[in-house]
């Protein structure tokens, strides 16, 4: 998606440790109008699939998930990283190996909000090694819900997570697909945008 | 706000430990259309104050904060609970004593996104003892930004945090103000809605 690639080139910063900082518009400070444009693109791509629920993961998925839920007229459900007092005991849980924090953690959703008959679109801000996506699809599987696809804002293609999920049969669409990054020069390359 | 009180009476559940679960529409599963109505009410109350930034705290503030940011045409900034690799070193931080998890934690915002000249509306889903609000106002103070007010979806008035902030001079408006809850009967009482 050209609009997104331009924004990443303009405002993104390639940091040491294979980090792309897009915290000025996507996952710390949020440009909600821009996220609405991304959400419209996800709706264009997934809008015909009977989606009735958007599933994401806290914290950085919630803003884009919320915009996508609005575009679909569907509720957003976000997987929680802490099984707080507020979530109660009746949950599905799955394990995530985090790339950015280097720590494994569990995520939870209440059984009341995910179940058979749900047609779920998974949304997240990034995909790298794909562990968050694996956990979210696992939560759908446990609940008997159908994951009809995954919409990711930024794919780091060279880490392979998205292609691994595609090979397993999940429709994964990313709006910007990065094939290489160089923190010394600050440069990054995008894959050709097949969908535009 | 009558619409919200009705929704809480219909869908909220009063649990042991002074917990009000509204996770079916506010902070786990999210009814984005409903949050847009809450956001419009916040805009009605705070729209004339020159707000140029919405500040909230992850994770449960992000969805309502995002809706309010859209209503104001302003960016949303959410304070992070982990100083991840993605946030970098240049941050303001403040300490929060959490009511729901019983653990203290620090929250962070990047110095790049909060500063002098910012007129900030703080948004959160709940206020109880007010420690999250204290931390968010402290972040504004550190940054030299003006906190013009705080918009809270649900105030637990009997825990006093909102009134403590009001006494300190902050304009705090809640859309539903709970004066008592009883987990044995499931009943809860609201304060009269002064603004409607």
pLDDT tens-digit series, residues B77-100: 999 998 765 555 699 999 998 766
A163 half-sphere exposure, CB direction, 13 A CA radius: 8
**What is the pLDDT confidence band of residue A196, given thresholds at 50, 70 and 90?**
very low
The DSSP line for B33-84 is: HHHHHHHHHHHHHHTTS---EEEEETTTTHHHHHHHHHHHT--EEEEBSS--
A8 contacts A21 by C-beta, under 8 angstroms: no
The verdict on a CB contact (< 8 Å) between B30 and A75 is yes
Counting Cα atoms < 13 Å in the Cβ hemisphere of B186 gives 7
How high is the pLDDT of residue B97?
81
Q: Cα angle at A145 between A143 and A149, to 5 degrees? A: 130
pLDDT of residue A99: 63
- Option in A24, A31, A84 nearest B100 (CB): A84
Nearest to A153 by CA among A67, A48, A85: A67
Instruction: Report the residue from A62, A70, A73 with minimal CB separation from B59.
Output: A62
Q: Give the percent of chain B with pLDDT over 90.
A: 88
The arithmetic mean of pLDDT across residues B108-114, rounded, is: 96
Does the structure show a pLDDT above 80 at B194?
A: no
- Interval A141-154: pLDDT, tens: 999 999 999 999 99
A38 within 8 A of A4, measured Cβ to Cβ? yes
Mean pLDDT over each residue of chain B, to the nearest integer: 94
Place B196 in a pLDDT band, splitting at 50, 70 and 90. Answer: very low
Question: Among A64, A77, A81, A76, which Cα is nearest to A28's?
Answer: A64
Contact between residue A25 and residue A38 where contact means Cβ atoms under 8 Å apart: no
Residue A57 Cα, gap to closest chain B Cα (Å): 10
Optimal mutation site among A26, A30, A123, A181, interface B, most CBs of chain B within 10 A: A30
- Are B69 and A100 in contact (CB < 8 Å)? no
Residue A144 has a pLDDT of 98
Instruction: Report the residue from B17, B32, B100 with minimal CB separation from A70.
Output: B32
Give how far A72 is from chain B: nearest CA, Å: 10
Q: Residue A2, Cβ neighbours under 10 Å: how many?
A: 11
Percent of chain A at pLDDT above 70? 94
Beta-carbon separation of A32 and B76 below 8 A:
yes
**What is the DSSP-derived secondary structure letter of residue A111?**
G
Mean pLDDT, chain A, as a whole number? Answer: 94
Average pLDDT over residues A1-10: 97
pTM of the model: 0.95
């Amino acid at each position: 998606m050209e609009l997104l690639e331009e924004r990443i080139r303009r405002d993104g910063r390639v940091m040491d440790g294979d980090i792309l900082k897009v915290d000025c518009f996507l996952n710390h400070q949020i440009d909600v109008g821009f996220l609405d444009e991304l959400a419209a693109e996800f709706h264009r791509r997934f809008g015909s699939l009977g989606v009735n629920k958007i599933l994401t993961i806290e914290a950085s998925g919630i803003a884009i998930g919320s915009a996508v839920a609005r575009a679909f007229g569907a509720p957003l459900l976000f997987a929680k990283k802490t099984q707080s007092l507020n979530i109660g005991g009746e949950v599905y849980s799955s394990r995530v190996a985090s790339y950015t924090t280097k720590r494994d953690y569990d995520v939870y959703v209440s059984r009341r909000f995910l179940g058979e008959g749900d047609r779920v679109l998974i949304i997240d801000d990034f995909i790298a090694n794909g562990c968050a996506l694996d956990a979210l699809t696992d939560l759908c599987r446990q609940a008997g819900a159908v994951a009809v696809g995954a919409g990711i804002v930024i794919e780091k293609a060279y880490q392979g997570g998205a292609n691994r999920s595609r090979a397993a049969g999940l429709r994964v669409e990313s709006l910007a697909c990065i094939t290489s990054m160089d923190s010394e020069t600050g440069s990054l390359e995008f894959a050709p945008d097949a969908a535009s």
